[in-house]
Amino acid sequence: MEKAHSPFSVSIETLDHWEKRNRRNNFFELVYIIEGKGAQCVNYNHISYREGSIFLLPASDCHTYTITEETTFLFIRFTATYFSSDEDCVIDFGKWFCRLNFIIGNYNRLPGELISDAVDKQHLVQLLQLLMVETKRNDPHTRRIMQSTMVTVLELIARNVAAVISPQAMYEEKKFADMLLHIHYHLLDEEMISPQYLAERFHISATYFSEYFKRNANETYQEFVLRSKLKLAEAKALYTDIPFKEIAYDLGFTDSSHLNKMMKRFYNKGMSAIRKSAIAAPLV
């Protein structure tokens, strides 16, 4: 496995061929094609790229490129620890990154262009240019500026991913679909996903909320939240090297044993087995 020596790095490489790397990463990788043409292969999914293409690769994914025209790549690599909260920081990067992990997990199953909205892509390119400038400047303010910029970058990505994975197609009632997306985004904020808050925000009678949710989801609200947290735990086991006890704490489980028990109940596989499956998966 290729490891990141720094929790965040920005690099530009111009290549006419790709040296195959029979290894996976412990970092996330945002790739922007400055110029060139070819195809990217991620876990056996082949995706054409051209100037302006943007991809996000979760950690542990094995990937390669077939370069048909000399290509200049912008690579932005970062680990989950890059978003660890600092005492003097006004944004809780740790919690923010955890809730976005769910969306990253969903994007991993959807090959293709990362950004579908033209305006969002324009904003994203400008933000990537800012990151390149700040990397060279590297003064005492650089870390905060780059962290905040990455929050905006990933929020733009989240908006475009959410448009693809929106549950709207699964549910006739738009209000209920919007509620599920709200829960996904704020999964680690108990106050913002409490039945009382949801009932008030989405104009549902508090006494009717449980019945309303079960009628639309075919499962109780508690079961839905638990399964959503377990899906996030699965993504963190697959795409990060965060200790299981820390994952359990972040997601509100009593301890890693409790998390493991629930994971086996719903997935028939424990956390260790899930993490090992990422390591043991065949290389491209």
How much is the average pLDDT of 53-69?
78
Q: pLDDT above 70 covers what percent of the chain? A: 75
Report DSSP letters for 57-121, one per residue: E-TT--EEEEEEEEEEEEEEEE-GGGG---TT-SS-HHHHHHHHHHHHHHHTTS-S-S---HHHH
How much is the average pLDDT of 64-74?
92
Confidence of residue 40 (pLDDT cuts 50, 70, 90): confident
User: Rounded to an integer, what distance in angstroms lies between the CA atom of residue 116 and that of residue 134?
Assistant: 27
Out of 21-25, 72-76, 227-231, 264-268, least confident range: 21-25
Residue 268's pLDDT is: 92
Residue 167's pLDDT is: 55
Who has greater pLDDT, 247 or 172?
247
Say yes or no to pLDDT of 4 above 50. no
Q: What is the largest CA-CA distance in the chain?
A: 64
**For all residues of the chain together, what is the average pLDDT?**
81
Who has greater pLDDT, 178 or 93?
178
Q: 34 is written with which tokens?
A: 């400055």
Backbone angles phi, psi at 132, to 5 degrees: -65, -40
Say yes or no to pLDDT of 112 above 80. no
Query: Residue type at 158?
Result: A
Q: 166 is written with which tokens?
A: 């929106």
How much is the average pLDDT of 225-252?
86
